[in-house]
Amino acid sequence: MKNMQKQNGFTLIEIAIVLVIIGLLLGGVMKGQELINSAKVKNLATDFRNIPVFIYGYQDKFKALPGDDAGAVAHVGGTLATTPANSQGNGLIDGNWNSTTTTDESYLFWQHIRLAGLAPGSTITGATDYIPRNAVGGQIGITNAANSPITGLKGSYIICSDGISGKFAKQLDTTMDDGNTATGSMMVTATGTTTGGTPIPTTGTGGIVDDTTYLVCMGV
């Protein structure tokens, strides 16, 4: 008789154990991704909360608005804004929220608060790392209500953060405002909008697509 070789295979118990381990690994990965996303939303929210603190800290120290400070050279050794002409000290942070014009008040806002020791970052205008970025790599900026990127958004100062996914935008609005991305003190519009954008969606949050990026602005 020919010797029959014994063939070994996995038992049902062994297969079940492997499936359980795979399930635990997948669950851990998903939970880890949730924690990462949660941390990003918290960082995005922190940006919106910190900028008013920078403004009030500067005002308390110099009785002027950063960027708009007519005495910026004497106060912090910073650059004096020259556009718009003769607008220094008028109580408004003029210029588009995403301005890259080195003489705009909204651009020089960042230099002034950094030189005042209120915020970290480069104080060299035009430097590649001068413009602040949020947790997802989008630009952060500030302007005034008249120059708001979003129609109907009210506030003395309009703080904007760009490149935020729809999923994060909805979470931000729920955390910091009324949960409706088209109403309240925080609104959402098309990414990159400079001025006068209509909030998306016009009602509710149903028009926000999770994987599409948006511009999120808050009035304070």
- Does position 1 have pLDDT exceeding 70, yes or no? no
Does residue 140 contact residue 160 with C-beta atoms inside 8 Å? yes
Q: Give the pLDDT score at 14.
A: 72
* pLDDT single digits (tens) 66-83: 999 999 999 999 999 999
* pLDDT single digits (tens) 30-45: 656 666 678 899 999 9
Greatest distance between any 2 Cα atoms in the chain = 107
Across the range 91-97, mean pLDDT stands at: 96
Percent of the chain with pLDDT strictly greater than 90: 79
Q: Give the pLDDT score at 3.
A: 53
Q: Which amino acid is at 74?
A: A
Domain locations in the chain?
15-219
* pLDDT single digits (tens) 166-197: 999 999 999 999 999 999 999 999 999 999 99
Burial class (CB in 10 A: 0-12, 13-18, 19+), 109: buried
Across the range 94-118, mean pLDDT stands at: 97
Q: Give the pLDDT score at 121.
A: 96
Q: Give the pLDDT score at 202.
A: 80
* pLDDT single digits (tens) 22-32: 777 776 666 56
Beta carbons within 8 Å of 18's beta carbon, 6+ residues apart: 10
Angle at 170 between CA 37 and CA 140, to 5 degrees: 75
